[in-house]
Structure 1
Amino acid sequence: MEIGQLIKLERQRQNMKQEYLASGICVPSYLSRIENGLVKPSEDIQHHILMRLNIPLDSLKSEINQEKTIHFKTQFKTVINSRNKQKAETLQLDIHNYIECHPFEPNRLTLLLIETRLMLMLPDKTINIRNNLAILVEFKKEMDPEQLFYLYTIQGIVAYQNNQFSQASELFAQIFTLIKNYRMEDWEMAELYYVSSLSLLSESRYIMAIDYVKSALSYFNQELLIERSIECLIILGIAQIDTGVLKEAIATFEKAKEISLKIDSSKYNGKIEHNLGASYSILGNQNQALYHFQNSLDIKTRPDDKIVTILSLLKEYHKINDVQNAIVWLERGFEIISYLSGESKNFFKSHFNIYRALLLEENNIISIFKEALAYFEEIQDYKYCFIYCQVLAKRLADKKQYKQSTIYYQLGFNYNLKLSHVTNWEELS
């Protein structure tokens, strides 16, 4: 990076306005020209700018420390492949401290991108990530393909974590276009295939999700990254459920379970049992479904994990018209929801509100559904928009409210078009 860009980056990191940094040194417009590489500042101006940024003068003499950058990148690869949060925290702190001590390190932009990517693996880093991204976006035009790869990946993961699945998929698609003429390393491509498969799965684009997760699985198997392979098998199994190949899905989950037993790891058992329950539920084997859901719930410890299976138990009992047990799990769900936070709380509250309206025959059922539909539309989760429109339309039709029922059948159809990424009815043929 040039001197002007490094000044701009450091100023933004310190949340300092151009007017403040320029005050008494030069006019803000001249500082802007320096930061944009249009002019090179004199030594006197550089000296005063560094003093105001509280940066030692000898920082300008920093040379590219390729060995240090290579060292950080090697560790970064290990952390991403292993998804080890403790190692991620250690490396993130090491990079942060290095940047603090070497504010004019020429590779600083790349290091800031790596640091931000590591933060995505750590709790309570939301504000730091947001601040770093605001800085990084300012340098988008100056980034090379590798740096853009990192930036779009970070933005895609943030979008996915915020349940903005379409936006996440679009960002990951941009990466594939970006690197057509640029060769990324195999481990980076495996991670891209992995995170892309997650967003595609959430968007109900199952065939592409299967292709991508199989590509990631191939790399993780080759590198003997067993836990990452288990993660991929779980994603593959879920996609197989949604494409209707249930026996294959069960075989995939059983394979994941077998591998977990071999490496004596219980880390993914809750997810595996849950998805075995989901597979048997669709097959109509309620006893097996309830058995695996209960196993999953017994294994899980975190409220965010438990709520997923509690919702499935509620659905299962509601499906077989066991109202008494359904209400039991409805109440359990609302108890757990109180321990959730952020988007997770809003997401599950919307589901449980709908089931409460259905089970308790609440009078304001339309307003409850409308509120839930507005939420799912906002996060672009068109699958649940479609499902709940059909549920409400049928309930209204059963009560002979045919005009209202027709409205929601039509609305559900429109959501299904969005879910299928269809813009014109001709594309349905």
Structure 2
Amino acid sequence: MEYGKVLRFHRVKQGLTQNQLADGIISPAYLSKIENDQTVPAFEVLEHLYERLGLDFHDSSYHHPSKESLKEWYEMIVFKRKEEARELKEELIQQKDTLNNHHLYIFFELFRIRHLLLENEVEEAYEAWKNIRQHEDTFDDEMEYYFHLSSGLVSYYRGDFEDSYLKLMEAKNYSVSIDLEDWEESDLYYLLALSASQANNISASIFNADQALTIYQQQYNLVKSADCHILLGINYGRLKNYGKALENYHLVSKIATQTQDNYQLGLVYHNIGVIESRRGNFEAALMNYQKSLSYKTGRASVHEIFEAIYCLVFETYKIGRLDDCKKWISEGQTYLDSTTRDTSTARIHLNIYTMLINKDVTTAQYLENVAIPHFQEKKQHRFVIRYCMIVSDLLEAERSYKKSSRYLRLAIDLLNKYSNLGGMLL
């Protein structure tokens, strides 16, 4: 057992300095060597240090029964069994060892980060991640794996997809030195595929999605196989291989119909709508977006439901059906008013199209000062491109040619860098 890491972990957790812990037992310099595993002290010294920290020197947790319960909890989280995960979490918290034992506490906190993300408590997950990060120098390889996995997920939920992919690749590097179960290996590949897709690394996304799909199919996991097909469909759609994209979407449709998964059907219809829009089949696009909206219940997030409404607003405005556009704007506002989630981004979208329809003279100013900076900060490049093109036209009509050119150049630069944007992910 690595006594030094345990001592340092609990010392930091309790807010003690090395001088305070070592006082009257050993020198602070000698404690530093113990904590860094540079020396092995006498058992009597360790017993005194443990006693000062309120720890049981003879405790061993690497094969503790609670570790099995923690892994059971983690599996519930990965497979999004929310109610079961909530119940087991409360049981784990009640167990003294979970919070007082170094080894168990680290795993509990690392798994809790992912549980918070599952519950969409992103900022709380970020705070938990910052707290556990201070103990990283006490981690073994298994802890490092889950730490980097959690780090990648936190970055993903905070919208930094490139950083997410890099951190998940770090987790993959640690995975070779620990024993992962098949369901964890497939989960890692899927998360890599998801983050790579959002970071516009299409080849890496397709490779990892195929790896995950192979394992899920071997496990006869239809739901997760369908998730992989959705991701593959999005990536092939970005490559304009629409036949391959639709092939994957139709496979999802078959699976989701068989498993009665309305959430996945909602995603399929949404992404088919994206393809039809790109191909200029606007009636088909509208029909699929409306189907998507009708299926997005239960598991769908506020963002996912609004995404369908936004696409209906965008498509109807684009083809000049302004009365229909107004209707979808109104429906979007009603929906946003019914939720307690942060809706600032969604409301900016609706404000823009309301102003465009009403020919509001302050539209360009709103786009310049509010909308475009907001989407730049969020790194939502497709909306930066879209609204730069709109403001460029508005500024040109106002004969502000220099400013118009600046926004047009920004849109072109982003288009060259992110030419494959589109599609909705899980």
- TM normalised by structure 1 equals 0.82
Gaps of 5+ in 2: 421-426
Gaps of 5+ in 1: 51-56, 422-429
Kindly state the Cα deviation for residue 223 of structure 1 after the two structures are TM-superposed.
0.6
Kindly state the Cα deviation for residue 317 of structure 1 after the two structures are TM-superposed.
0.4
Q: CA–CA distance in 2 between the matches of 1:402 and 1:125? A: 42
Whether contact under 8 Å (2:392, 2:405) holds in the other structure is yes
Q: CA–CA distance in 2 between the matches of 1:169 and 1:106? A: 27
Alignment partner, residue 423 of structure 2: none
Q: CA–CA distance in 1 between the matches of 2:98 and 2:351? A: 52
Kindly state the Cα deviation for residue 231 of structure 1 after the two structures are TM-superposed.
1.5
Correspondence 1:333 to 2:337: no
Q: CA–CA distance in 1 between the matches of 2:98 and 2:68? A: 17
1:17-416 to structure 2, matched below 5 A, reads 17-18=15-16, 22=20, 30=28, 33=32, 43-44=47-48, 46-50=50-54, 59-66=56-63, 68=65, 71-72=68-69, 75-76=72-73, 78-79=75-76, 82-98=79-95, 100=97, 103-104=100-101, 106=103, 108-124=105-121, 126-127=123-124, 129-179=125-175, 184-301=180-297, 303-340=302-339, 345-370=343-368, 371-416=370-415
Tell me the amino acid that sits aligned with residue 362 of structure 2.
Answer: N
CA separation of 1:169 and 1:106: change in aligned 2, threshold 3 A: closer
Alignment partner, residue 54 of structure 1: none
Tell me the amino acid that sits aligned with residue 113 of structure 1.
Answer: L
Q: Deviations over 1:215-238 (max 9, x none)?
A: 211211111111111222222222
Q: Deviations over 1:8-44 (max 9, x none)?
A: 434655xx533699499679x9498476667865645
CA separation of 1:195 and 1:339: change in aligned 2, threshold 3 A: farther
Kindly state the Cα deviation for residue 312 of structure 1 after the two structures are TM-superposed.
0.8
Whether contact under 8 Å (1:221, 1:229) holds in the other structure is yes
Whether contact under 8 Å (2:21, 2:49) holds in the other structure is no
Q: RMSD value over aligned CA atoms?
A: 3.5
CA separation of 1:63 and 1:326: change in aligned 2, threshold 3 A: same
Q: CA–CA distance in 1 between the matches of 2:334 and 2:276? A: 27
Kindly state the Cα deviation for residue 256 of structure 1 after the two structures are TM-superposed.
0.8
Kindly state the Cα deviation for residue 289 of structure 1 after the two structures are TM-superposed.
1.9
Q: CA–CA distance in 1 between the matches of 2:51 and 2:71? A: 35
Tell me the amino acid that sits aligned with residue 358 of structure 1.
Answer: L
Kindly state the Cα deviation for residue 239 of structure 1 after the two structures are TM-superposed.
2.0
Correspondence 1:6 to 2:3: no
Kindly state the Cα deviation for residue 202 of structure 1 after the two structures are TM-superposed.
2.1
Kindly state the Cα deviation for residue 150 of structure 1 after the two structures are TM-superposed.
0.9
Kindly state the Cα deviation for residue 3 of structure 1 after the two structures are TM-superposed.
4.4
Kindly state the Cα deviation for residue 195 of structure 1 after the two structures are TM-superposed.
1.6
CA separation of 1:242 and 1:196: change in aligned 2, threshold 3 A: same
Tell me the amino acid that sits aligned with residue 255 of structure 1.
Answer: L
What percentage of residue pairs aligned between the two structures are identical? 21
Whether contact under 8 Å (2:77, 2:114) holds in the other structure is no
Alignment partner, residue 53 of structure 1: none
Kindly state the Cα deviation for residue 70 of structure 1 after the two structures are TM-superposed.
6.0
Alignment partner, residue 426 of structure 1: none
CA separation of 1:7 and 1:235: change in aligned 2, threshold 3 A: same
Deviates more, 1:219-228 or 1:67-76: 67-76
Kindly state the Cα deviation for residue 71 of structure 1 after the two structures are TM-superposed.
2.4
Aligned residues: 410
Whether contact under 8 Å (1:200, 1:206) holds in the other structure is yes
Tell me the amino acid that sits aligned with residue 153 of structure 2.
Answer: I
Q: CA–CA distance in 2 between the matches of 1:147 and 1:24? A: 27
